[in-house]
Amino acid sequence: MTLDDLRVFVAVCRAGSLSSVARELGCTQSAVSQHVKRLERETGVALLERQPRGVVPTQAGRVLEAAAAEGISGLDLAIRRLRDLVDGESGYVRVATGATTVRHFMSEAVVAYRRRHPGVSLEFRTVSSGRGSFDALADGTLDLAWITLGPPVRGIEQRPVVELPWVLAVRADDPLAQRPYVDAGADLRDVRLIRLPPNSASAAQLDAACAESGVRLAYDTSVADWDTALLLAELGVGRAVVPALPGLPVPGDGGLRLIPLPALRPLPVGWAVRRWDALSPPARAFADLVESHRRGTRR
């Protein structure tokens, strides 16, 4: 039983597929299978159950996965901290972001961080869901994740940084464009909107905020990120309810208008980490710098 065996096994459990892990590692499916078989020989139990569309861990497999993930995460953390002790200002920071995160929330901080810490490598990974970010934080493959904050997640610490008011994005010649604000219940009752990804945390937060105000929105178009929603609204394809992202003027200018929706509870965003007290010095410095820039911009 080797560390590589355990890493591959944890990856297979989370992906639910031998072939997808093989593609990620750049090896054959047979090589991935050999890692699992070696663990099964040494433990004497079946660890994976084959199904028509992938694999799932058995009860024994879930026990080993939990222990292996915890051990690998702790070991990776220890190795990073040792490197930080040896290297001082060198090292790396691995950050999970969405499609619009760096542009709207981190651009100034990235420039400032690079000037202050030229020896540290910054790695940004686009993660499509909060669950994926949490898994990557838990197994130690990421240091920080910028997320839409939500309910507590076991083993993950969340820190709010800023709250984003909701706005209605419309084309400049839209009948609602000159309004000082929009009442979601009265003004959007019969309006079909551009929808954020239904499985995203921001969409869930929007639905919850609407439910609190007794509002039910309707949609006829779906997009993968906020920037695309803004572009389609500017083109006149539809209207979109989006967060007032940093750097976007409200009420908007040019061909786009952003009209406040003051009755809806703002969207909370911020950092998620495995443990704040276990962050490496470079990662903590990056998180603090992003937070200081965002709080300064908000003021």
* 81 occurs within a structural domain: no
Nearest 5°: CA angle at 150, between 147 and 153? 95
* 13 occurs within a structural domain: yes
**pLDDT on residue 127:** 74
Are 242 and 267 within 8 A, CB to CB?
no
CATH of the domain at 173: 3.40.190.290
Do residues 102 and 151 both lie within one domain?
A: yes
* 249 occurs within a structural domain: yes
**pLDDT on residue 297:** 53
For the segment 187-221, what is each residue's pLDDT rounded down to a tens digit? 887 788 998 877 788 888 888 888 888 888 888 88
Please tell me which residue, 79 or 282, carries the higher pLDDT value.
282
Do residues 260 and 272 both lie within one domain?
A: no
Give the residue from 130, 129, 108, 83 showing the smallest Cα distance to 292: 108
pTM: 0.67
* Mean local confidence (pLDDT), 168-172: 92
* Mean local confidence (pLDDT), 67-79: 81
From residue 71, give the alpha-carbon distance in Å to each of 41, 206, 266. Answer: 21, 37, 38
Q: For residue 152, say if its preceding peptide bond is cis, omega within 30 degrees of 0.
A: no
Do residues 184 and 216 both lie within one domain?
A: yes
**pLDDT on residue 298:** 47
Give the residue from 123, 174, 148, 178 showing the smallest Cα distance to 243: 148
* Residue where a domain stops, chosen among 69, 98, 113: 69
**pLDDT on residue 150:** 85
Range of the domain at 63: 3-69
Count the domains in the chain: 3
